Structure 1
């Protein structure tokens, strides 16, 4: 029997949280992690990834999202872990995000694949990324991944 997933975030009274499936990736190069810097003047930081499209696997979703957000073509190496995370999307929809995290490998750079204008690829040291990512659940998943790499 599989243990229940760890729940992150705070459930706000009166909101109806919709289930949402999502996948995110950790890509490291030369000691730095690929991070999506989101916004135009005030920035938030996230690991490349996002919601699954209908019928899409988590692995296909994280590879697609990497391309759309960063212009990088990547491939899933292995799963890292998964959590649940309450959050309210920028459009106002409350979700309980079922987040899956994957270690990724670099395949190619194809800037023409980038389609999300408010996302920019930046590279951060892992500890800096852990401090800056917008959800504690994502920092927790990064810590799990880093512990396996040392």
Structure 2
């Protein structure tokens, strides 16, 4: 599956974001949307798909930020992802926000060892140390298995 089309969304922090991987190109929309995620996320999904000339039925899988983060925000993201995926018969991929942050550091800064952190409020922090490993994945096989279950 060379040309994977992946739609991703995240509502677990104060930012509300959607991203699309289509024909190897990444696009995204990110807004600071304190407590308005439920109003913004679906229009943002519509916008990113429309800008790429796609419908949800042309997406291969849907990913969402599974946290850590706001309990309500994680529930909003999971619910939207599950609802859209159920309606379009798509596999759902939960992604750790901390791992996603580490992956960005690996790609942007060629980092090998990253400590990612998110404000957990009340003087606490969610954090994770991630060490870059060379991992080879066949996503085509993964999505074939996911669709058959």
- Shorter-chain TM range is under 0.3
* Bigger CA radius of gyration: 2
Higher strand share: 1
The structure carrying a bigger helix percent of its residues is 2
